[in-house]
Amino acid sequence: MSGEETIRRAKPNAIDRIEGFILFAFSAAVTAFVTSGRYISFVTPRTMPYLWFAALVLLALSIAAWFGAFQCTRDSLGRILIVAVLPTLLLSLPLDSANASTTGANRAIAINASTAAALPGLDTAAKTITIRDDDFGSWFDRIDRHSEQYLGYTVIVEGFVSRDSSLGPSQFSTSRMLMTCCVLDMTPFGLVTDTSAIPKALPSDKAWVRVTGTIAKGRIGTASHGYDGLIVKAKSVHAANETPNGYFYR
């Protein structure tokens, strides 16, 4: 009798079919999330292989569940509904396209850390660097790593104004957004701009500006609370149009 009961329970039932369908829907949602490119609004492109792996694992689990491999019960189905259905719905919801176009969160730009690659915008004869939007991250990395090479160069760059407690009263960072792993760790990064030589009010926080200045070594912060580092001594700071070019990642 127990053997017959085991054989009977091994056959897939309606609950097994529901479990398999839920897992398949979850797999399909992850696949659509990746293929549509929407995932880069939340995680960096480096995570794409892991998302594909997750989609394949979910697909395999859905097939196994459909044929009753897990002998799903009502209680376990309830847990699956909580764990799988909510993420499936969230992955399927459309993004706010207006907000995405404003923030540029639908583009991910890799920072090229190679020292061998020639970056656009460099004029060695005039000792000038004109930083294009998509080259911001690569130029930031290049100047940071090889500061001695670019001391005295004039740099022309656009970004938004960001400030923190480490900066002096006449300083701000000409910034873009950097994502290390996911949207929760997105943070501003950029060139510390010193405006002490400009007789005008500092731009407001988050305002977009076009800065022309000289790369130099200077004091970041105040004389009593600060440190020596690389700054841009601003010659001019003008308002600029917001550039929704996305975020940068390493």
Question: Tokens at residue 153, please?
Answer: 């160069």
Q: What is the pLDDT of residues 214-227, one digit of tens each?
A: 999 999 998 788 89
Task: Determine the pLDDT at residue 1.
Answer: 46
Q: Which has the higher per-residue pLDDT, 10 or 210?
A: 210
Q: What is the pLDDT of residues 164-193, one digit of tens each?
A: 989 999 999 999 999 988 888 889 999 999
38, 62, 94: which is the final residue of a domain? 94
Containing domain of residue 48, as a range? 2-94
> Could you give the CA distance from residue 125 to residue 238 in angstroms, rounded to a whole number?
25
| C-alpha distances out from residue 191 to 54, 174, 208, 211, 243, Å | 38, 5, 14, 10, 17
Instruction: Indicate the length of the chain as a whole number.
Output: 250
Calculate mean pLDDT across residues 113-119: 72
Q: With b meaning 16 or more CB within 10 Å and e meaning fewer, what string describes 152-164?
A: ebbbbbbbbbbbe
| C-alpha distances out from residue 228 to 168, 188, 196, 223, 244, Å | 12, 21, 16, 10, 32
Task: Determine the pLDDT at residue 150.
Answer: 96
Does residue 23 belong to any structural domain of this protein?
Answer: yes
Q: Same structural domain for residues 83 and 132?
A: no
Q: Same structural domain for residues 153 and 72?
A: no
Number of structural domains the chain divides into: 2
Q: Same structural domain for residues 126 and 66?
A: no
> Could you give the CA distance from residue 242 to residue 122 in angstroms, rounded to a whole number?
23
Q: Same structural domain for residues 67 and 132?
A: no
Q: What is the pLDDT of residues 21-80, one digit of tens each?
A: 999 999 999 999 999 888 888 888 888 999 999 999 999 999 998 998 888 888 888 888
pLDDT band for position 101 (cuts 50, 70, 90) = very low
Calculate mean pLDDT across residues 139-159: 95
> Could you give the CA distance from residue 103 to residue 105 in angstroms, rounded to a whole number?
5
